[in-house]
């Protein structure tokens, strides 16, 4: 299957041929940069088969469109000439998004690409709070369908990203450790009320763009209903190796709290939950390039966080 040809053929649905089409990302979806004959740029997504239903993708696009209208910097879904936001081409679900200026604040395996690190994380906290505040006030369409990153969606018998505790690469000690951590986490999630609602669910470095002092959010493919601390934990997890991590954590939390109240007592729990999800996510992708290296990193991080989590008393004082 030549996906470049699929992407180019799909452009006819938006009357954008001729155009330059370049593959720029290949994660859950194949994302193409499209530059039309007038020099205008777009992002075209060819969705991974069977990853999200049509209803779920349309719900994602509806939320993005609403967020864009509210003034939050996110990609704007573009309407095809048939009046729809999602089209089918060669058996694939495809959509077109506006292109956002800026560069990622960092990439996996490297340091943050920022000059004003603490200021940026403070602003990122405010951006997340703004997203959560607006989403609480938004009237959901009646057919809105998205995954649930709740207790069952993370730790239940059928988690969104798979049973991390059954990853076949875990040794006996790791498996036992993760099962103990899972059981303790289930007790805490069952005993406390956490801030819950629509979340982005993938606030990693690559999905946060900076242009001057402006921050934008891309890649809503995993968005759904979940814990707001899960969003904050996702933004923090892969920055734990930064020399000023504690300051970055304080900055994002302080920024968030300027616009929204949140109890961060259990932040370490949600850092662990986010780490656990990656151990499950990698299993069906283990044959992809560098997957085993990534898996080893995911497991190492989860072991470190789980040991720390289990060393604390419960319930916490």
Work out the average pLDDT over 89-115: 93
Q: What is the CATH number of the domain that holds 92?
A: 3.30.200.20
| Residues 26, 59 within the same domain | yes
Q: Is residue 279 part of a domain?
A: yes
Q: Is the pLDDT of residue 315 over 70?
A: no
Q: What is the pLDDT of residues 143-168, one digit of tens each?
A: 999 999 999 999 999 999 999 999 99
How distant, in Å, are the alpha carbons of 70, 133, 136, 183 from that of 257? 20, 12, 16, 30
Q: Is residue 152 part of a domain?
A: yes
| Residues 237, 288 within the same domain | yes
Q: Is 162 exposed, middle or buried (0-12, 13-18, 19+ CB in 10 A)?
A: middle
State the DSSP string of 149-187.
ESHHHHHSSS-TT--GGG-TT--HHHHHHHHHHHHHHHH
Distance separating alpha carbons of residues 251 and 119, to the nearest angstrom: 7
| DSSP summary character for residue 77 | B
Q: Is the pLDDT of residue 317 over 50?
A: no
> For all residues of the chain together, what is the average pLDDT?
96
Confidence category of residue 108, pLDDT binned at 50, 70, 90: confident
| Residues 171, 220 within the same domain | yes
Q: Is residue 315 part of a domain?
A: no
Q: What is the pLDDT of residues 265-288, one digit of tens each?
A: 999 999 999 999 999 999 999 999
| Residues 145, 162 within the same domain | yes
Provide the domain count of the chain: 2
Q: How much of the chain, in percent, has pLDDT values that exceed 70?
A: 98
Query: How do 148-149 and 224-227 pair as beta strands?
Result: parallel
Q: Is the pLDDT of residue 316 over 50?
A: no
Q: Is the pLDDT of residue 297 over 50?
A: yes
Distance separating alpha carbons of residues 317 and 47, to the nearest angstrom: 46
Number of Cβ within 10 Å of residue 127's Cβ equals 23
Handedness of CA 155, 160, 161, 163 (dihedral sign): positive
| Residues 84, 108 within the same domain | no
Full residue range of the structural domain in which residue 258 is found: 104-310
Among candidates 223, 240, 28, 31, which has minimal Cα distance to 131? Answer: 223
Confidence category of residue 313, pLDDT binned at 50, 70, 90: low
Q: In 218-279, at which residue ranges do the beta strands (DSSP E only) sit?
A: 224-227
Helices (H), 50-193: 54-70, 117-137, 151-155, 172-191
| Residues 205, 121 within the same domain | yes
Q: Is residue 317 part of a domain?
A: no
- Tokens describing residue 209: 């763009």
Q: What is the pLDDT of residues 15-32, one digit of tens each?
A: 999 999 999 998 889 999
Q: What is the pLDDT of residue 314?
A: 58
Q: What is the pLDDT of residue 312?
A: 84
Q: Is residue 316 part of a domain?
A: no
Q: What is the CATH number of the domain that holds 222?
A: 3.90.1200.10
Q: What is the pLDDT of residues 70-100, one digit of tens each?
A: 999 999 999 999 999 999 999 999 999 999 9
Q: What is the pLDDT of residues 212-268, one digit of tens each?
A: 999 999 999 999 999 999 999 999 999 999 999 999 999 999 999 999 999 999 999
Q: What is the pLDDT of residues 177-200, one digit of tens each?
A: 999 999 999 999 999 999 999 999
Residue pair 207/100 in contact (Cβ under 8 Å)? The answer is no
How distant, in Å, are the alpha carbons of 199, 200, 262, 266 from that of 226? 6, 9, 14, 15
Q: In the chain, at which residue ranges do the beta strands (DSSP E only) sit?
A: 19-26, 30-36, 41-46, 87-89, 92-98, 103-104, 148-149, 196-199, 208-211, 214-217, 224-227
Work out the average pLDDT over 95-111: 93
């Amino acid at each position: 299957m030549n996906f470049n040809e699929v992407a180019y053929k799909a452009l006819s649905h938006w009357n954008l041929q001729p155009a330059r089409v370049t593959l720029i990302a290949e994660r859950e979806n194949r994302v193409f940069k499209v530059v039309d004959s007038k020099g205008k740029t777009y992002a075209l997504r060819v969705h991974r088969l069977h990853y999200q239903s049509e209803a779920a993708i349309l719900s994602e696009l509806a939320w993005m469109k609403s967020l864009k209208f509210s003034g939050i910097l996110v990609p704007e879904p573009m309407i095809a000439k048939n009046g729809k936001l999602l089209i089918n081409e060669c058996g694939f679900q495809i959509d077109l998004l506006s292109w956002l200026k800026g560069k990622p604040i960092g990439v996996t395996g490297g340091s943050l690409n920022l000059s004003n690190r603490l200021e940026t994380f403070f602003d990122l906290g405010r951006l997340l709070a703004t997203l959560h505040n607006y989403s609480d006030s938004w009237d959901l369409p009646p057919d809105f369908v998205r995954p649930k990153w709740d207790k069952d969606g993370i730790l239940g018998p059928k988690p969104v990203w798979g049973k991390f505790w059954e990853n076949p690469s875990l040794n006996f000690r790791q498996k036992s450790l993760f099962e103990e951590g899972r059981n303790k986490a289930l007790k805490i999630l069952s005993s406390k009320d956490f801030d819950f609602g629509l979340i982005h669910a993938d606030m990693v470095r690559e999905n946060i763009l900076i242009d001057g002092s402006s921050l934008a959010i891309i890649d809503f493919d995993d968005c759904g209903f979940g814990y707001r601390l899960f969003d904050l934990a996702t933004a923090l997890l892969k920055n734990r190796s930064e020399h000023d991590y504690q300051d970055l954590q304080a900055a994002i939390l302080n920024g968030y709290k300027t616009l929204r109240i949140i109890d961060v007592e259990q932040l370490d729990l949600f850092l662990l939950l986010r780490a656990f999800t990656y151990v499950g996510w990698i299993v069906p992708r283990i044959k992809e390039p560098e997957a085993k290296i990534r898996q080893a990193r995911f497991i190492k991080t989860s072991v470190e966080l789980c040991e720390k989590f289990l060393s604390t008393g419960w319930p916490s004082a």
